[in-house]
Amino acid sequence: MLIVFRLTTGCDGTKIPEDTENFSGFKYISGEEAKELFDSNDPVVLLDVRNRDEYEENHITGSILIPVDELEERLSELPDKNTTIIVYCAAGRRSAAAVDILVSNGYTNIYNMQSINNWP
């Protein structure tokens, strides 16, 4: 069973508005929940939006790398806009920017895991 939770503060300690999930079109997800979803038989993209050096140093097996500063130009590399996409970076700032790009381009099933360190 997948349980999605909503954080009340961002990585930098700022308060996240209560209606963020409904307004923005994405959900926050814990690392454990992300792994459970990724390991399921459902199609899921695990999207690493860090830079290539960070990815080569350490990444989650099965993830794809599209640095956040290249994401808008490389959206065609992602599958259907309804496919589940779990986004992560190093601390959460770039994953938040990537989520904004995805949502503004019509992607509908986005989860923000924030940091690679959240992966179990």
Q: What is the CA radius of gyration of the chain?
A: 13
The Cβ of residue 23 has, within 10 Å, a number of other Cβ atoms equal to 10
Q: Is 89 labeled as catalytic in the residue annotation? A: yes
User: Could you say which of 37, 89, 113, 116 is catalytic?
Assistant: 89
Q: Are 115 and 88 spatial neighbours (Cβ–Cβ below 8 Å)?
A: yes
**Amino acid, single-letter form, for residue 96:** A
Tell me the C-alpha to C-alpha distance, in Å, between residue 26 and each of 22, 51, 52, 53, 113: 8, 23, 25, 27, 11
**Catalytic residue list:** 89
